[in-house]
Amino acid sequence: MECKSNFFPTLDDLRLEGTAQEEFHEKARSTRASIFSDRVFIRAVVEVSNYCRENCHYCGMRRDNRALDRFRLSSEELTRNVLESIPDSVTDLDIQAGEDPKGTRELVLPLIQHIKREKPRLGITVCLGCLDYQIYDELKSAGAEIYIMKYEVAPEAAYKRFGAPVTWSERMKHIRWLSDNGWRVSSGFISGLPGHTDEEYMENFKVAQNLKLHGCSVSPFIPGESTPLADQKMGSVTRVLNSMAALRLMHPLWVVPAVSALSITDASEGYVRGLNAGANLVTINLTPPDVRANYLLYKRDRSIMTEEKIFRALDQTGLVPSLVSQSQFWADSHREAPSVTSCS
């Protein structure tokens, strides 16, 4: 099956509201259906460590936040909360942490090896920041298949302004290295950062277009506790939803997540609206409740998605769970990351 797209969004696309917005989102849904039918990947996430050596201005886990109780989960907690608690509907597991090389070696590598022994059909995604290339190889050898590394914000001047991880050139080097060395890579960016101009914002789509990706996300800026941006205004959900639809139209094969933060910016129906904008991945949180608040991406009062909430959202949008993991989907359909303008 051929699927070509020469679409690239304009600022007017990202400002759409009302009937025009609904028509734009309908195009995104039709595009999703042409590739994925009515199937949506259900992923579980476990956040294993909130130690982080980076100091991003928008993140509550930044190293300068001395008020945060730091944690690394024990092997027993991981076994109990992942292997014993993961619902049957889940096809993929996302293992996340702050940029914590110690936690990666001591917790993540053994966890992946254990999961692959006990649940070999479960797809493994990791989101662990910029690490040594040797660790990437070890993670892949253990059984991880997808690496999430968001480029956070473009262009380079804005990246530097918001204190994003390492340097722009180093981050992009890691993303490209992962894509070129056997990983399926998902990236993404933040919408609504204070002082981020419209012209700068459009650079996010140019960056995404020129990376070899299997997925891309857009998340609303939410002012984080104990960050330099704590008193700033929350990002617009309209722009986030239109950006999600734009990503779907740019690259029909991409996995575009409906991020849980949508339920904070639009509490009544944010998650459903994300699916209606073309998203095809939803996430259940399996992090133990007693440490969940300390995985402080933005606010302690997080929107936690459960299997019940996920199924309710799928029912409202006429969608059903995928029967295979993301990587298995690509393998079964003989598809891989599209080029800039086409996929086959």
User: Strand, coil or helix: what is 82?
Assistant: helix
Output the pLDDT for position 268: 55
Q: Which 8-state DSSP code applies to residue 233?
A: P
Close Cβ partners of 157 (under 8 Å, ≥ 6 residues apart):
200
- Please, are residues 114 and 181 in contact by the beta-carbon 8 Å criterion? no
User: Strand, coil or helix: what is 272?
Assistant: helix
Domains and CATH numbers, the chain: 3-332 (3.20.20.70)
What tens-digit pLDDT sequence spans the chain (344 residues)? 345 589 999 999 999 999 999 999 999 999 999 999 999 999 999 999 999 999 999 999 999 999 999 999 998 888 777 778 899 999 999 999 999 999 999 999 999 999 999 999 999 999 999 999 999 999 999 999 999 999 999 999 999 999 999 999 999 999 999 999 999 999 999 999 999 999 999 999 999 999 999 999 999 999 988 999 999 999 999 999 999 999 999 999 999 999 988 877 665 588 899 999 999 999 999 999 899 989 988 776 777 888 999 999 999 999 999 999 999 999 988 776 654 444 43
d(CA 123, CA 115): 10
H or E element, residue 289: helix 289-292
Q: What is the dihedral of CA 337, 155, 24, 19, to 10 degrees?
A: 160
Close Cβ partners of 248 (under 8 Å, ≥ 6 residues apart):
28, 31, 32, 254, 256, 277, 278, 279
CB-neighbour burial class of residue 133 (10 A; exposed 0-12, middle 13-18, buried 19+): exposed
